[in-house]
Amino acid sequence: MQYNHQEIEENWQKFWAENQTFKASSTSEKPKYYVLDMFPYPSGAGLHVGHPLGYIASDIYARYKRHKGFNVLHPQGYDSFGLPAEQYAIQTGQHPAKTTEANIATYRKQLDKIGFSFDWSTEVRTSNPEYYKWTQWIFIQLFNSWYHKDTDKAEDISTLISIFKKSGNAKVNAVSDEDIAFFSAEEWNAFSTTEKEAILLQYRLTFLSDTEVNWCPGLGTVLANDEIVNGVSERGSHPVVRKKMTQWSMRISAYAQRLLDGLETIDWPQPLKDSQTNWIGRSQGAMVSFDVANGTEKVSSEVKLSYKELEALKELRQNLSKAETILWDELKNKKGAAKFRKKYTIGAFLVDYVCLAKNIIVEFSGKEEEAARTEFFAKEGFNVVRFTNEEVIENVLSVVSKINAAIQFPKAIEKGAKKEVALTAKNQYKIAVFTTRPDTIFGVSFMTLAPEHELVSKITTDAQKAAVEKYITATAKRSERDRMADVKTISGVFTGAYAIHPFSGEKVQIWIGDYVLANYGTGAVMAVPCGDQRDYDFAKKFEIPIPNIFEGVDISEEAHTGKDATKIANSDFLSGLKYKKALKLSIFEMEKRGFGYGKINYRLRDAVFSRQRYWGEPFPVYYKDGMPQMIDAKHLPIVLPEVEKYLPTEDGKPPLGNATAWAWDSRAKKVVSNEKLKNKTVYPLELNTMPGWAGSSWYFNRYMDAANTAEFASKEALDYWKEVDLYIGGSEHATGHLLYARFWQKFLFDKGIVPVDEFAKKLINQGMILGTSAFVYKATAFVKEGCGCADEKSNDDVLNKIPTVLVSKNLFSSDDEFETVVKNYLMDKGFLSPLNADIVMIVKTEIHADVSLVNTSDELDVDAFKNHALNAAYKNSEFILEDGVYKVKREVEKMSKSKYNVVNPDAIVAQYGADALRLFEMFLGPLEQAKPWKTSGISGVSSFLKKLWKLYFNEEIFEVSKEKATKEELKVLHKTIKKVQEDIERFSFNTSVSTFMIAVNDLTTLKCNKRAILEPLLVLLSPYAPHISEELWSKLGNKKSISTADFPVFDAKHLVESAKNYPISFNGKMRFTLELSLDLSKEEIEKAVLVHEKTIAQLEGRTPKKVIVVPGKIINIVG
RNA sequence: GCUCAAGUGGCGGAAUUGGUAGACGCGCUGGAUUCAAAAUCCAGUUUUUUCGGAAGUGCGGGUUCGAUUCCCGCCUUGAGUACCA
């Protein structure tokens, strides 16, 4: 009977679906095992053969674990929010939900054909409101939490509030924004609700702030650092620029250390751990503060703004926002003592409006460093009045009347604040730096600030002013990419100012240079040229002294960057010490003297969480008095509203700004029409949506209890399944999904919501499957120029006669030979007159041919190629063949549509079957490695399946014998059991496919048809080739699915041998083998070998110096 | 530049603790079957050879009775990251 894969596979796929064979039980006595694939994004292009690789591996493991008696959870779902569907929606006007739904349907159909044992009853989709309800819920939990460094975990915001109430914020040890103003308990209690909320935002784990973000104009949204590759967007490769915007952020930096520590506890690939470690970028060192000298050179007294600020100011005066214009229209009419100015600088701050005569500042709220501004303005004797954009737009008259009130009844400025500020004002400027080498502080010979550093304009002397400004202008012009690409050019300029070395008291020059990055550390470095190559190069270029503080080290050529072995010299109290001790002592001294302290810096930035896109989770947030408010969890989900178009609004708001019903009625507790915004209890809702990683950061927990409507997942389910035991997916998620998901998991763990703080115990990165592209060689003819005698027209005639010619691969070995071959062909066929042969030039180009047109022997189907839809240009081409066929060149490349090398799994399944596809994908090579796909290879596993099938048949009749298995047959079976089990457990799936082949070859040779062998063999094979195994299993008379069968138990007694075919080597080289009994002692073996005639021949009369005998392994004769 | 991973036949790859290098499969060569093709089956397939052998796992050293495997240096390829103080 013929093996008919189509019928068999269809039947069993139907059987599994109908019987819910792979549904996981949550009330099982069995031990649990959770196998998960990384969340797929259902793209419109569908699957190619590279995609199922990881799914097949995880499916094999899941099925194996079921045979081994585990209760296995093996779910699947879709990360269905995201950019591609939205880009498509913008282009076609189709609702992303619709296209997503269609893509999922295609995806599912393709998956089903491969025979995966997914438990589809737990399917989740991130774009489903029942799912994102809980994503919103987690967001609220984050909002209501702060990170307490004392307990080293996230706590409810209420514990922070109670500390504030009792003792203010001076002693709170929390992860927060930088530059937080201190306040006492009394002050806290006196703050207005809005003020309190503004302060709490600085502590919450998700918070709203003005941050420099990566704005991508091409996509119309901001991007996280991990969504940018080489300065352009990961999706679509659009340029990205820096821009300041008010955004939701996630305080992932609070977890930096724990994210590092957690890596120690999980079994993940080292390269992945390395890249997370790298991304987090921990560096241990010290913060040191250098005073700027009040030098002899005159420092200009007027308050200056940095170049950037001045440029921004000019622009701002001209381009007022809508709210600003409305308010200015009212204020500008005021005359006399109440005259207002717009965009005016007070100190280093830019204020929106100021009335100088009445000392009133009017500002829009939500600016950076609001507390610091207030403090500074108070010191200068100004009263500050703040309004939100919305207040002004909605009722400008009430705003104006409040301003009038402030002019008439100025608030008394607190004396305490004034006194404190006066004290600090006496102090000169300080430059804070972070260094990982405080032990080399005596090697500091200058300092370098980033050109953007705020102090630059304030400390630059008049003499250097022109040079500094010129340099800053020049740097500002260079794009981010230019600066990144050009590392070699050393540039900088002296500010004229000096800093005081905190230990030695010496004056060191302060420079600016663009090798110092504004957004890392403090944007300033203490330069130690003898110990840092960049500082060294800088010092050399500008002839700054390079003091040597290393004992016995030559620094005339380059800096000495090593640290461990070298002793410090010329360094006062640090002299003679090695790195470790000097480091500790230097920090100790700094702390004692009060100008520095030990600090650990992380490169990891807080993650921007807002996206100006439509197709994402809406935030459960509305705004009241400019302050974000969470919607109570019981009113979730806040469902994504319908919009007419998916583009930003005309005034630049995100797409949700197009929604007509997007306001929160705080009384009715529901989303209502925007028209009701006039009501006092109706507020605008957040217009941003969440980023793609929101839904994928916790989905693995949802699978444990996917249908739960009351909770994110029940406690019982979470406690039973705990974490993913095996997680398989691509390495591209290393610093995105996998870092964010670990962060959320740790947060949920802190809040007692999940029982473990790492969500995946073991992770495997499957390698990419590459395509084997096919190329044809195309000949293009040109006419040589410059003869000067012939007229152009006749040359055109020559060219017009020449058709496109394609040359088979092995007909030439050089470009010259190629030209000759083509010319000879053209002349033979009469396309080219021999008279014109010399004026024609032939150039070779390689073009991709669709791989489906090429057979296993690299031969092109010429007719199919000519008639291929994409090859209209070659319809009338001539082909130069070799031995009657056209051979193509093959090359391994990434699988992609543009390279015509994409192989669709559906086609493979139709022709060879899902079992063959599964076996072949595994057979290609180690799971973790990248490897090329070559469809020709599949015939090997296909004939294996046919051979296996044959073992169970006597011609047309299914027939297995009840006879006892022979020793030989049992040996084959048990060898296979042992090897397959070992292979699966170390995820070496390719070698177990070989093992099956060997077993079937051996059993065929032995003509074995014993049930005792063939029945357990099916269980071994069933994780790999489940359909054929089920079919033969049921033919053997079994009523239940093979997935319920126990894995065969290995018995070593079947492998016991009485003799061993020993390899006999001479000086380590194997020369011949000799069969000897395993009962022999070492001495007997040695004797037997030495008297053997081949040994004597090998030795050629020499006496062996030594004979190594490893019983059961090898014999080595030295001599 | 730095970090990590990997280099084995014509190709994908195997060799699990240092113990017979090239399993298994593709491709190729020859044969059987067939009117012929496909499919199937059999034999061969690292290089070299005076047919006894000899050499051989990117290159050069080392440790060892014995190294694809361990150590040192170098070369090549791939991935990540990038003026990170």
Q: Which nucleotide is nearest to A491 (CA to C1')?
A: B83
Q: Which nucleotide is nearest to A933 (CA to C1')?
A: B12
Look at residue A422 in the predicted model and tell me its pLDDT: 34
Answer with the residue of higher pLDDT: A1045 or A487. Answer: A1045
Residue nearest the C1' of B21 (CA based): A1070
Check if the beta carbon of residue A755 is closer than 8 Å to that of residue A722: yes
What token pair was written down for A545? Answer: 């002294």
Spell out the domain ranges in chain A.
Answer: 5-138+696-765, 320-425, 434-600, 769-893, 905-1055, 1059-1118
Cβ of A1062: how many Cβ atoms within 10 Å? 24
The Å distance, CA of A733 to C1' of B80, is 12
The Å distance, CA of A929 to C1' of B13, is 11
d(CA A394, CA A695) in angstroms, rounded, equals 35
Task: Identify whether A637 is preceded by a cis peptide bond (ω within 30 of 0).
Answer: yes
AA letter at A381: G
pLDDT tens-digit map of A255-275: 999 999 999 889 998 888 888
Check if the beta carbon of residue A414 is closer than 8 Å to that of residue A381: no
The Å distance, CA of A852 to C1' of B51, is 46
Which range, of A272-281, A433-442, A1093-1102, averages the lowest pLDDT? Answer: A1093-1102
Domain with residues A1059-1118, CATH architecture: Roll (3.10)
Residues 6+ apart with CB under 8 A from A883: none
Sign of CA dihedral A184, A186, A192, A196: positive
Q: Which helix (H) or strand (E) holds A249?
A: strand A241-250
Residue A312 has pLDDT above 70, yes or no: no
Residue A443 has pLDDT above 80, yes or no: yes
The Å distance, CA of A805 to C1' of B47, is 39
The Å distance, CA of A500 to C1' of B49, is 81
**Chain mean pLDDT for chain A:** 85
* Strand B nucleotides within a 7 Å radius of protein CB atoms: 3-5, 11-16, 18-21, 23-28, 39-41, 54-55, 65-67, 78-85
Do β-strands A507-512 and A493-500 pair in parallel, antiparallel, or remain unpaired?
antiparallel
Which range, of A24-33, A363-372, A829-838, averages the lowest pLDDT? Answer: A363-372
AA letter at A559: A
Cα-Cα-Cα-Cα torsion A115, A120, A124, A130, nearest 10 degrees, comes to: 160
Rounded to the nearest 10 degrees, the angle between the axes of helix A83-92 and helix A96-112 is: 130
d(CA A777, CA A480) in angstroms, rounded, equals 41
Residue nearest the C1' of B53 (CA based): A1071
d(CA A807, CA A777) in angstroms, rounded, equals 5
Residues 6+ apart with CB under 8 A from A142: A204, A205, A206, A250, A747
The CATH number of domain A5-138+696-765 is 3.40.50.620: yes
Check if the beta carbon of residue A96 is closer than 8 Å to that of residue A86: yes
Look at residue A337 in the predicted model and tell me its pLDDT: 60
Residue A787 has pLDDT above 60, yes or no: no
d(CA A1012, CA A886) in angstroms, rounded, equals 51
Residue count of chain A, please give it: 1119
Q: Which nucleotide is nearest to A890 (CA to C1')?
A: B11
d(CA A366, CA A201) in angstroms, rounded, equals 11
Q: How many CA atoms lie within 13 A of A670 on its CB side?
A: 3
Check if the beta carbon of residue A992 is closer than 8 Å to that of residue A983: yes
CATH class given for the domain over A320-425? alpha beta
The Å distance, CA of A453 to C1' of B53, is 77
What token pair was written down for A970? Answer: 């049992």
Look at residue A895 in the predicted model and tell me its pLDDT: 85
Cβ of A496: how many Cβ atoms within 10 Å? 21
pLDDT tens-digit map of A65-85: 999 999 999 999 999 998 888
Sign of CA dihedral A476, A480, A486, A490: positive
Check if the beta carbon of residue A309 is closer than 8 Å to that of residue A462: no
Q: Which nucleotide is nearest to A990 (CA to C1')?
A: B13
In chain A, the percentage of residues whose pLDDT exceeds 70 is 92
What token pair was written down for A138? Answer: 């987690």
In which band, very low, low, confident or very high, does the pLDDT at A404 lie, cut at 50, 70 and 90?
confident
Q: What are phi and psi of A998, to 5 degrees?
A: -60, -45
Q: How many CA atoms lie within 13 A of A457 on its CB side?
A: 17
Q: Which nucleotide is nearest to A1063 (CA to C1')?
A: B20
The Å distance, CA of A1078 to C1' of B55, is 33
Residue A741 has pLDDT above 50, yes or no: yes
Cα A47 to chain centroid, rounded:
21
* Residue where the block lists tokens 């138990």: A1049
Look at residue A319 in the predicted model and tell me its pLDDT: 67
Do β-strands A383-387 and A360-364 pair in parallel, antiparallel, or remain unpaired?
parallel
Q: Which nucleotide is nearest to A1060 (CA to C1')?
A: B20
The Å distance, CA of A481 to C1' of B24, is 50
Q: Which nucleotide is nearest to A930 (CA to C1')?
A: B78
Q: Which nucleotide is nearest to A988 (CA to C1')?
A: B16
Look at residue A356 in the predicted model and tell me its pLDDT: 73
AA letter at A424: T
A9 beta partners: none
CATH class given for the domain over A434-600? alpha beta
Look at residue A423 in the predicted model and tell me its pLDDT: 34
* Residue where the block lists tokens 């300029």: A493
What token pair was written down for A518? Answer: 């504004």
DSSP string, A767-791: PPEEEEEEEEEEEEEEE-----SS-
In which band, very low, low, confident or very high, does the pLDDT at A486 lie, cut at 50, 70 and 90?
low
Residue nearest the C1' of B39 (CA based): A943
Sign of CA dihedral A687, A691, A697, A699: positive
The Å distance, CA of A971 to C1' of B84, is 60
Residue nearest the C1' of B26 (CA based): A937
Task: Give the CATH number of domain A905-1055.
Answer: 1.10.730.10
The Å distance, CA of A1068 to C1' of B60, is 21
Look at residue A109 in the predicted model and tell me its pLDDT: 93
d(CA A427, CA A473) in angstroms, rounded, equals 30
3-state secondary structure A10-73: HHHHHHHHHHCCCCCCCCCCCCEEEEEECCCCCCCCCCCCCCHHHHHHHHHHHHHHHHCCCEEE
Which range, of A6-15, A655-664, A880-889, averages the lowest pLDDT? Answer: A880-889
Look at residue A160 in the predicted model and tell me its pLDDT: 95
d(CA A386, CA A626) in angstroms, rounded, equals 11
Sign of CA dihedral A563, A569, A571, A577: positive
Look at residue A306 in the predicted model and tell me its pLDDT: 52
In which band, very low, low, confident or very high, does the pLDDT at A761 lie, cut at 50, 70 and 90?
very high
Answer with the residue of higher pLDDT: A413 or A930. Answer: A930
d(CA A532, CA A513) in angstroms, rounded, equals 15
Residue nearest the C1' of B23 (CA based): A994
pLDDT tens-digit map of A863-896: 888 888 878 888 888 888 887 788 888 888 888 8
Look at residue A487 in the predicted model and tell me its pLDDT: 61
Q: Which nucleotide is nearest to A603 (CA to C1')?
A: B84
The Å distance, CA of A984 to C1' of B65, is 36
